[in-house]
Amino acid sequence: MPSVHIVEGPTIWIIGDSYVRRGRDRAAETLGHNLGMAAHVQWFGRGGLRWSSLVPWLFRLLRGRSAPAVLLICCGSNDLGKVKSVDLVAAMKRDLLDLHRRYPSMDIFFSQLTDRRLWRDAQPGRINH
């Protein structure tokens, strides 16, 4: 009979783009799926994820589930060069505030955007405009 390992501690969701997917794989190879913590870590990574798709995807993931104690968001880098920076920041602030209002007991963390040397859809010198 296989043994079942039950992890006690908070539920942590890490949600975002392909960095999350690759981070999950790397964590499994090194620290373990739960990053060596006494927590239940769930990874939700989708390549090419853009900010405008993040919150609707999160709401779909939450259907029938309790909100996690901790939400770590790694998203937005794929928007750079496609969305004006000021518009992206405004959308992020609006959505993070809305998430906080809907789930006040959930701690929300945001990973900084990942800089790249080249942006596929951006004109050189125009990334911050």
Condensed to tens digits (0 to 9), the pLDDT of residues 34-46 reads 787 888 999 999 9
Condensed to tens digits (0 to 9), the pLDDT of residues 88-129 reads 999 999 999 999 999 999 999 998 877 666 656 555 555 554
Are 51 and 95 in contact by the 8 Å Cβ rule? The answer is yes
Condensed to tens digits (0 to 9), the pLDDT of residues 44-89 reads 999 999 999 999 999 999 999 999 999 999 998 888 888 898 999 9
For residue 4, the model assigns a pLDDT of 47
50-80 in b/e form (b: 16+ CB < 10 A) is bbeebbeebeeeeeeeebbbbbbbbbbbbbb
Helices 51-62 and 85-102: angle between axes, nearest 10 degrees: 20
Tally of CB atoms within 10 A around 10: 14
